[in-house]
Chain A
Amino acid sequence: MALRLRVRRKTHIVTPVRFARAITGLPNALDPDPDDRGFAMSTRPEFWGVTDARGAMIGITAGQTVEMRVLREDIDGAAPVFITVTPADLIEVAAPASGGPLTGSDTFQIKGLKDEPNKCAKVQARLGDAKGPVLGELECHIFALKELHIVAHFVTIRGVPATLGLGSVSLDALKKVAEEDIRTVNAIYRPAGIQFELRDARIDSIDDVPETGKPFKVPGKVSFVIEEPDVSFKEVKAIMALNSAAHAINVYYVHRIFGGNNGFAARRGTIFAKDNPPGVVISDHSRLMGADRTLAHELGHYLQLPHPDQSEKVFVTKVDMWMLRRLMQHAALTPGHPPHHDDVGYGSSVRGTGITLKDFGLDTRDSECAILRKEARLELGR
Chain B
Amino acid sequence: MPPAEQLIERVRRKDWTVVPDVKHATEPVASGLAHLAAAEDRRVRELALVCLDEIGGAEARAAFLRALDDPVENIRDRGVGFLHHHHAAADLPALYRALADSPDLFVREQVALIIGEIGDAGAIPELRRQLAATTSAGLIGHLQLALARLGDRDSQERVVQRLERPSVLDRKEALQDFEYMSQPAYVPRLAPLLDDRRDADVVVPEPVPLVLRVCDLTVHTIERVARRPLPFGTDAPRQFSDNELATARDRIQRPRA
| Chain A interface residues (CB < 8 Å from chain B) | 46-47, 115, 117, 144, 146-147, 149, 199-200, 224, 226, 229-230, 233-234, 246-247, 258-261, 264, 269-272, 274-275, 306-307, 310-314, 330, 364, 374, 377-378, 380-382
Contacts and interface: CB of A to CB of B under 8 A. Distances in A.
Which of A149, A271, A274, A364 has the most chain B CB atoms inside 10 A of its CB? Answer: A271
A115 B168 contact: no
A314 B199 CA distance: 9
B238 interface: yes
A115 B73 contact: yes
11 contacts: A117-B103, A144-B72, A258-B204, A261-B206, A270-B237, A312-B200, A313-B211, A314-B209, A374-B106, A380-B81, A381-B110
Contact of B207 (A259, A271, A307, A380): A259
Contacts of A226: 204, 208, 210
B59 to A, nearest CB: 18
B236 A117 contact: no
B168 A149 contact: no
A117 B235 contact: no
Given A200-B17, A247-B19, A381 B78 contact: yes
Contacts of B176: 269
B207 A260 contact: yes
Contact of A381 (B80, B206, B207): B80
Given A147-B74, A274-B220, A230 B103 contact: no
B233 A230 contact: yes
Interface string B79-101: 11110100000000000000000
B121 interface: no
* Interface SS of A by simple majority: loop
A270 B237 CA distance: 9
Contacts of A246: 19-20, 54
Nearest to A381: B81
Interface of B: 16-17, 19-20, 50, 53-54, 72-74, 77-82, 84, 103-106, 110, 136-138, 168-169, 176, 198-212, 217, 220, 233, 235-238
Nearest to A116: B103
A330 B207 CA distance: 13
A47 B106 contact: yes
Contacts of B137: 46
A381 B220 contact: no
B206 A259 contact: yes
A312 B202 contact: yes
A237 B136 CA distance: 39
Given A229-B210, A312-B211, 19 more contacts: A46-B136, A146-B74, A226-B204, A229-B238, A233-B235, A233-B237, A260-B207, A261-B206, A264-B204, A271-B201, A272-B237, A306-B202, A313-B199, A313-B209, A374-B106, A378-B77, A380-B77, A381-B79, A381-B84
Given A313-B199, A382-B81, A247 B136 contact: no
Contacts of B238: 229-230
Contacts of B78: 380-381
Nearest to B204: A224
B237 A149 contact: no
A46 B138 contact: yes
B81 A378 contact: yes
Contacts of B81: 377-378, 380-382
B199 A271 contact: no
A144 B19 contact: no
Contacts of B16: 149, 199-200
Contacts of A306: 202
Nearest to A231: B236
Nearest to B47: A247
B210 A307 contact: no
Nearest to B54: A246
B129 to A, nearest CB: 20
